[in-house]
Amino acid sequence: MHAFPDQYNPVWTSMSRNSGESMPCGGHDIGLNVWVEPDAEGEGELLLYIDRAGSFDENNQMLKLGRVRVRLTPNPFQPGMRFRQELKLRQGFVEIVAGEPAVTIAVWVEVEQPVIHIEVAAGHAVALEARYENWRQAPRTIPYERRHPCASWVSYPGTVTTEPDSVGFNGDAVRFYHRNRSDRLLYDFLVKQQGLEPVKEEIPNT
């Protein structure tokens, strides 16, 4: 396999307005959106959307696992200060260099196990605060015109609902997961709708 020359690495010299201006990064079965977004005062925070292969809900909709927000103190992401974000294609990670004196952040995912790394290097003391954010906290109806992520429901005239996630603590860790309701699986609904229950065991659930 030919290595990507470094000249093809995407490089940004300003923070992003939103997740639409994020860089991809991944490893093993994990994919990330990585970006730095300023608040109303112009001070930035590192943000990650996390996705994982096979994270389908009861509607066969692939869900993001959530968002991680990282804030550094002192904050290197300030208006008018140095900022450089680079996607290192050959090495497979995102590097962010910001502030005066400079702080370097490396975001990468292991290839042999699903582990995300956020590494911070600086010549001075830096405190890091990481927060997990989740927006599926209650059942939510999916509008008829927004069902493309769960394509099998696109023409269904009834109500389609995304169920909430479970978020809690396990010691010092945050534990979050989405448990598919066994009474609401799309596979079972489609088999029944099409009158295929007599041959259900012969139909792969993929």
For 110-165, the pLDDT digits (tens) are 999 999 999 999 999 999 999 999 999 999 999 999 999 999 999 899 999 999 99
Q: Is residue 203 part of a domain?
A: no
Q: Is residue 119 part of a domain?
A: yes
- Provide the number of structural domains found in the chain: 1
pLDDT at residue 71 above 90? yes
Distance from C-alpha of 24 to C-alpha of 17, rounded to nearest angstrom: 16
Q: Is residue 205 part of a domain?
A: no
Residue 58's pLDDT is what? 93
What are the C-alpha distances in Å from 132 to residues 20, 30, 38, 48, 147? 20, 16, 18, 10, 26
Q: Is residue 50 part of a domain?
A: yes
Q: Is residue 129 part of a domain?
A: yes
| Both structure tokens of 190 | 């489609």
Q: Is residue 204 part of a domain?
A: no
Q: Is residue 14 part of a domain?
A: yes
**Beta-carbon neighbour count of residue 135 at 10 Å?**
11
Q: Is residue 189 part of a domain?
A: yes
Residue 2's pLDDT is what? 67
Full residue range of the structural domain in which residue 16 is found = 6-197
Q: Which stretch of DSSP H or E encloses residue 11?
A: strand 11-12
**Global pTM exceeds 0.85:** yes
